[in-house]
Every structure is written in structure tokens, then in C-alpha cells.
Amino acid sequence: MNFELTETQSLIVKSAREFVERELKPVAAELDREGRFPTEQLKGLADLGLMGVNLPAELGGAEAGAVAYALAMMEVARGCASTAVTMAVTNMVGEVINAFGNDEQRENYIPRLTSGEFLAGAFGLSEPGAGSDPGGMATTAVRGDGGFILNGQKQWITNGSKAGVTVVWARTDTPERRLGNKGLSCFLVVAGTPGLEVGKHEDKMGLRASETVPLTFTDCFVPESALMGDIGAGFKVAMMALDGGRIGIASQAIGIATAALEAAIAYAKERKQFGHPIADFQAIQWMIADSKTELEAAKLCTLRAAQMKDKGAGRFTREAAIAKLFASEAAWKICDRALQIHGGYGYVKDFPVERHLRDVRVTRIYEGTSEIQRIVIARSRLE
Ligand SMILES: Cc1cc2nc3c(=O)[nH]c(=O)nc-3n(C[C@H](O)[C@H](O)[C@H](O)COP(=O)(O)OP(=O)(O)OC[C@H]3O[C@@H](n4cnc5c(N)ncnc54)[C@H](O)[C@@H]3O)c2cc1C
């Protein structure tokens, strides 16, 4: 095992860190407070190649690999978790098009995602009645004249109204012959397509500067060229995209927890009680020690999954699930301890830790809840 970063990986980390210190950290609290989408910041990320870290250079990507992507995501999430999730979904959309799209789809969409011409991409899998079980989705795509007609609703779509292109899953089997997971197909739907309506922004607990909306499809016609991959192959596309996506969310959780731990350490050195900085008390030191240990373990799991992805030697489903489960659960505890170290001051918006705690909570839910990750891991041992 080699724990040294390559030159490319070091460069990506350095440029992401400089950007975060200069452009993201100073505005993150304000973006959260105002619920303002980070338009300018995303353009900056695109300029640095961070909207396509693991995409080919000829399509405008940084071609730096999955480890570099994970490291960049940790840095960006350390600065602003809302910007990080917007970046994560956009990278995932670019990668899924690169892996499953045809040449025309790749050339049409990926350069626009990586360059920032499209502010973002979106991933339309979840529905009001189908979250953990996407095979239960109800949105349909029925063949029409020269294409498909989409009807149904998607729920919780990150970047829903900002995305130039949304990957949308729909049923292509028939009510008479339901095929379960094999009845799903995948479509690329461009912004502004008639029949696609964006609903009300969700009033979320955290990630308040990111956008989460429902999408409604009403007799929404998409041409034949919108179909990505084969008819009936959509479930496999979603699962493979989520394997990579889970490395991204694990990295996001690590980034948020890193920020929380940094804030807690700084506060513990400054805050005095009983005539001593609270950092002198063993109870506080143990919280810091546990948090640092869990953070390092989370990083190792996550970078191992990313390295397996880079090696391209088959699926890394279990390793990505382990990384997401461990990192998101650990990050939640780390952010909670950071708040505890701040005492009452942790509970108000003058300090950043309450934001970190709100932001990190969803990493245990989206791209597969912790319970679903446990199912994936257990199945890989039991089968
Ligand atoms: C802020 C935010 C952004 C999101 N962005 C996107 C996006 O961009 N695109 C997208 O497609 N989706 C997105 N999602 C949706 C997200 O992936 C789902 O919320 C998640 O998969 C869980 O689905 P659900 O909310 O329907 O919960 P449910 O599936 O209804 O689960 C409810 C509870 O039951 C548990 N549960 C379910 N099945 C089992 C089981 N078999 N065994 C044990 N426990 C079980 C779950 O773990 C959970 O605790 C987003 C969600 C949020 C909150």
C-alpha cells in the first residue's frame, strides 16, 4: 500500500484548499443563512477542473482519478457542505454519462458540465413512493413518435432547477408485465423540456445553500437520443453510479467533520473555565482524540474504495458502502462532540459548529441510508 499522494493528487488538493480558504470558507455561513445557491463559487470550481475531476481531459475533465476526486471533495466540504453536494452530484452525472452514454451524449453534455456552461447536473432517481427501493418507482416512459413520453414525479432532486441536464430513471415495462428492477431505463433530460416542471424548494434542516426540489413530468416528450444505455438496463446504471457517489458522500462527511474538529480544537484552546483552557481537561482531550481517530479511519476506508475504483479491477460496491456507512456515522458523532466542546456557544449561529451538525446529518440518509449500506455490506458477506 502506498499512502503517498501523486503529483496530480497533491496539485488538486492544493488548488482546492486554496480556493476553499479564499472563496468558500468566508461566505459559507452567509450562504447558509440566506439559503443562497453558490452560483459564483461553482463557476470557480469549474475553472479549477473540479466539476469533472475523474473525467477525460478531451471532454474538459481534470482526468485526475477517483482518489483525487475524494480528496478534493473533502477539501470543498470542509469549506461549504452545500457547495460540496452540488459539486458531488455534478461530478456523478458527468461520470455516469461518461460510463454509460454513447459518443454523441458524452460529447454533447460532458464538456458543458466540466466547463461550467451548465451550472450543474442532476440525478433523478428517488420518488415520493420510492426511496430506498428504486425498483418500486412509478414514473413511466412510453414509446411515442420518435421518442418517449415521460409521466411521473421525482422527489428530493439536488440541483433540480439549476441543472443543464438531469439523468432520469423511468419504467419502460408495462403495467401488464412488471419486470421489477429490470423494467427501468435511463434518460437524459435537458433543462426547459416542455412537460418538465420544477416544484417548490425543500425547506431543509441543513445544506441550506444547496437546492433540493421535486420534478414533475407531464406528457414530457424526449427524443430517442435521450435514452442512455439499453432499455431495461437502468437499475444497473443507477447502482454503479451510486457506488462512485457513495465515495463522494463519504468524502463530504469527512470534510464537514474536519471543519467541526478544527473549530472544536481552536475553541478548546481559547475557552477558559476553572482558571484553565478547557483543552487542559481530560474529558475534552478524549473527545478530540476519539474524533481524530475516527476521522483518520474514515479517510482510510474512503480512499481505499476510491483507489479500487481507480484501479478499475471490478466492482467496489462493498468498499464504497463501508466507507459511506463508517464516514457518515463517524462524522455525525464528531460534529456532535464539536458542538459539545463549545457548550452553549455551540448551539447558536455565532459559531460554525451548529451548521456543521445540521449539514452532516443528511450524509447518513442520501445516496442510500446507513441501514441500506448495512444491507449491502451484509449481503456481500452472506451470499
Ligand atoms: C437533501 C437531500 C438530497 C437528495 N438528493 C437526491 C438526488 O439528487 N437524487 C435522488 O434521486 N435522490 C436524492 N435524495 C433522496 C435520498 O437518496 C433518499 O431520501 C434516500 O434514499 C432514502 O429514501 P426515503 O427518504 O424515501 O426513505 P425510505 O426509503 O422511506 O426509508 C425510511 C427509513 O426506513 C429505512 N429502510 C428502508 N428500507 C429498509 C430495509 N429494507 N431495511 C431496513 N431499513 C429500511 C431507511 O433506512 C430509513 O431509515 C435526497 C435526499 C435528501 C434529504
- Could you tell me the CATH number of the domain that includes residue 213? 2.40.110.10
Ligand 1: which atom is nearest the Cα of residue 134?
21
Q: Is the pLDDT at 383 greater than 90, yes or no? A: no
**Could you tell me if residue 53 is inside a domain?**
yes
pLDDT band at 100 (very low <50, low <70, confident <90, very high): very high
Do 228 and 245 have their domain in common?
no
Do 262 and 373 have their domain in common?
yes
Q: Is the pLDDT at 313 greater than 90, yes or no? A: no
Ligand 1: which atom is nearest the Cα of residue 158?
8
Ligand 1: which atom is nearest the Cα of residue 204?
1
364 Cα to the center of ligand 1, angstroms? 9
> Is the Cβ atom of 163 under 6 angstroms away from ligand 1?
no
> Is the Cβ atom of 169 under 6 angstroms away from ligand 1?
no
End residue of a domain, out of 92, 118, 144: 118
Q: Residue 1's pLDDT is what?
A: 78
pTM listed for this prediction: 0.98
Ligand 1: which atom is nearest the Cα of residue 130?
26
Ligand 1: residue whose CA is nearest its atom 4: 156
**Could you tell me if residue 287 is inside a domain?**
yes
Do 135 and 110 have their domain in common?
no
> Is the Cβ atom of 361 under 6 angstroms away from ligand 1?
no
End residue of a domain, out of 232, 263, 279: 232
> Is the Cβ atom of 18 under 6 angstroms away from ligand 1?
no
List, for residues 70-91, the tens digit of each pLDDT value.
Answer: 999 999 999 999 999 999 999 9
Ligand 1: residue whose CA is nearest its atom 25: 131
> Is the Cβ atom of 364 under 6 angstroms away from ligand 1?
no
Separation between Cα atoms, residue 127 and residue 8, nearest integer Å: 39
**Given ligand 1 and candidates 167, 366, 367, 373, which is best to mutate, with the most ligand atoms within 8 Å of its CB?**
366
Per the structure, the complete domain to which residue 16 belongs is given by: 7-118
> Is the Cβ atom of 366 under 6 angstroms away from ligand 1?
yes
Ligand 1: residue whose CA is nearest its atom 2: 156
**Given ligand 1 and candidates 82, 96, 156, 210, which is best to mutate, with the most ligand atoms within 8 Å of its CB?**
156
For the segment 245-265, the average pLDDT, to the nearest whole number, is: 98
Ligand 1: residue whose CA is nearest its atom 48: 369
List, for residues 121-139, the tens digit of each pLDDT value.
Answer: 999 999 999 999 999 999 9
Q: Is the pLDDT at 323 greater than 90, yes or no? A: yes
Contact between 114 and 55 under an 8 Å Cβ cutoff? The reply is yes
Q: Write the CATH number for 30.
A: 1.10.540.10
> Is the Cβ atom of 127 under 6 angstroms away from ligand 1?
no
**Could you tell me if residue 1 is inside a domain?**
no
Ligand 1: which atom is nearest the Cα of residue 132?
29
> Is the Cβ atom of 367 under 6 angstroms away from ligand 1?
yes
The residues carrying an active-site annotation are 367
Q: Residue 188's pLDDT is what?
A: 98
Do 239 and 351 have their domain in common?
yes
pLDDT band at 2 (very low <50, low <70, confident <90, very high): confident
Do 132 and 261 have their domain in common?
no
Do 265 and 344 have their domain in common?
yes
Do 373 and 292 have their domain in common?
yes
> Is the Cβ atom of 64 under 6 angstroms away from ligand 1?
no
Q: Residue 38's pLDDT is what?
A: 98
Q: Is the pLDDT at 328 greater than 90, yes or no? A: yes
Q: Is the pLDDT at 39 greater than 90, yes or no? A: yes
Do 39 and 111 have their domain in common?
yes
Total domains in the chain come to 3
**Could you tell me if residue 155 is inside a domain?**
yes
Ligand 1: residue whose CA is nearest its atom 19: 366
Quote the mean pLDDT of the chain.
Answer: 97
Q: Is the pLDDT at 339 greater than 90, yes or no? A: yes
**Could you tell me if residue 16 is inside a domain?**
yes
End residue of a domain, out of 118, 136, 156: 118
Q: Write the CATH number for 312.
A: 1.20.140.10
Do 347 and 244 have their domain in common?
yes
**Could you tell me if residue 376 is inside a domain?**
yes
**Could you tell me if residue 108 is inside a domain?**
yes
**Could you tell me if residue 2 is inside a domain?**
no
Q: Residue 314's pLDDT is what?
A: 86
Do 247 and 213 have their domain in common?
no
> Is the Cβ atom of 12 under 6 angstroms away from ligand 1?
no
Least confident piece of the model among 43-47, 58-62, 265-269, 378-382: 378-382
